[in-house]
Structure 1
Amino acid sequence: MENVFKYYEFSDFFIDESGAFSGKEIAYTELNAQHFLIFEKEKEQYNLYVARFVSKKEIGQQAPEILELLVENYDKSIPEHRVVLRKYLY
């Protein structure tokens, strides 16, 4: 998974303090000024979300305006999971 995070330029993981991700660790990459892809880390499982925030500074601090689960238990070896990620980034 580290290669996925580096390749798609996700931030380092940090603790969510907004309550939207139940205090779990999250990492994000920017789609545009208000839309972001977020990986939520729970032990060795990763969930992928798309979210809308007023600004990047709110990630992990405020609940998102919109939050949609794209892939539960992301697995880079599953082609459908990779397609979902690429769909948003390209």
Structure 2
Amino acid sequence: MSTMRTAEQEAVLRSVRKQIDFWQIQAEELAGIPEPVPVVAPVRTAPVHRYRHPITQATWDGEGGQPAWLREALTREGYTVEELRLKDGETSGA
């Protein structure tokens, strides 16, 4: 059974054949659609807070820029970094 193809279809077939030749794809490889490889999302863990304001309980994990509450506590409220740092094993309360 012969089917008539449009010029566009013939051009696509030529292109596909060139790609198959270039990439050395075998006919067996075209037998079916391969199962997609599942993408596993990374497991996100809760941030570990390293600093906490003793009154407001605001926390910061130490990543990125300092939050405003921390700058305020250090410059205007008179706290030291050590006073705001959570001790090892101390929970962040979050």
- TM-score range (shorter-chain normalised) is under 0.3
Structure number with larger C-alpha Rg: 2
Q: Which has the higher helix share?
A: 2
TM-score w.r.t. the length of structure 1 is 0.25
TM-score w.r.t. the length of structure 2 is 0.24
